[in-house]
Chain A
Amino acid sequence: MIRLQREDFDVGAELERLTAGNHRIGGVASFIGLVRDMGGSDRVFALTLEHYPGMTERKLAEIEAEARRRWPLDAVLVIHRYGRLKPGDRIVLVATASPHREAALEACHFLIDWLKTDAPFWKSETTSVGERWVEARTEDDAARERWTPPL
C-alpha cells in the first residue's frame, strides 16, 4: 500500500495494522527516514518536500510491484510525507512483512533504495545560509544499482 500525506504517522499503529489478522507473517522490517538538522556543514531549520502528484503514486506502485515480484511478501506499506518539515520529523516509512526475516529485510532495503532514485520527490532546505535545493547523490544511484537487474 502506498500513501502520500502532509501529516505525520504513528509507526506503532501502522505496523500493528500491517500484520493484523495475518498469522503467516513471521517478520516485519521497517525503515523510517527523518529530517536531519545539518545539510553539509550548515544548520537546517526546515525541509520542504514537493512531489509530482500522479506520477509519484504511479512510480511507488511500480516499485512495490517489483518488490512483490522479487520476494514473497504478505504486506508492504510505504508512507511518504510532503510539505514543510522540521528536524527530527519523520519523512518516510517503508515496512514489509513476510513469513521469514530475509525477504522482509531485503525487500525493505530495496524499496527505500529504489524510492530514492525513482520516485519524483524534491527537497529544499531552509539553512543558516538561505534556502537551497538538495542535490541528488551519486551514492544513491550506486545503492539502486546493487539491486540488479533493473526494472
Chain B
Amino acid sequence: MKLLYFAWLRARVGCAEEEVALPPQVRDVAGLLDWLRGRSDRHAEALRSLGLIRVAVNQDYVGPAHPVREGDEVALFPPVTGG
C-alpha cells in the first residue's frame, strides 16, 4: 500500500510517501492509523491528534470505518487551507 503525507504531517513523519505491507488485521482506516502509530516515534507523534487528520483513500475523502486494502493509495493530511 502506498501512503502519502502532506503539509505538517509530512514534516512530522519525515517523508512524503512510503510503501507499506499491510498486516492482515488492518482492515479499515481507523485500524491503519492505529497500526501506523506503532511504526516509529515520529509516526506516533504525527498521528497523535486524530481530530486534526483527514484521510483520502484512492483520492476520495473517507471516514474511520472505510475499508483499506493492499494496492490502495492512502493519503494523510491536515484540514485543507486552499483558496
- Is B21 in contact with chain A by the CB < 8 A criterion? no
Determine the residue in chain B with the shortest Cβ distance to A111.
B83
Across chains A and B, the number of contacting residue pairs, with CB separation under 8 Å, is: 66
Q: For the complex formed, measure the closest distance between the CB of A81 and the CB atoms of chain B, giving whole angstroms.
A: 10
User: Which 10 pairs, one residue from A and one from B, show the smallest C-beta to C-beta distance?
Assistant: A121-B82, A136-B79, A122-B7, A55-B59, A116-B83, A134-B81, A133-B8, A123-B81, A119-B82, A115-B83
9 contacts between A and B (CB under 8 A): A50-B6, A50-B7, A55-B56, A116-B81, A117-B80, A120-B6, A122-B7, A123-B82, A136-B78
Q: A52-B4, A52-B6, A55-B75 are in contact. Are A122 and B80 (CB under 8 A)?
A: yes
- Is A124 in contact with chain B by the CB < 8 A criterion? yes
- Is A16 in contact with chain B by the CB < 8 A criterion? no
Please measure, in the bound complex, the distance between the C-alpha atom of A114 and the C-alpha atom of B55, giving whole angstroms. Answer: 18
**Contact surface of B with A, Cβ cutoff 8 Å:** 4, 6-8, 56, 59, 61, 75, 77-83
Contact A119 B75 (CB under 8 A): no
Contact A119 B6 (CB under 8 A): no
Contact B75 A136 (CB under 8 A): no
Please measure, in the bound complex, the distance between the C-alpha atom of A121 and the C-alpha atom of B4, giving whole angstroms. Answer: 14
Please measure, in the bound complex, the distance between the C-alpha atom of A83 and the C-alpha atom of B4, giving whole angstroms. Answer: 19
Q: For the complex formed, measure the closest distance between the CB of B76 and the CB atoms of chain A, giving whole angstroms.
A: 11
Contact A119 B80 (CB under 8 A): yes
Contact A112 B78 (CB under 8 A): no
Provide the residues of chain B in CB contact with A50, threshold 8 Å. 6-7
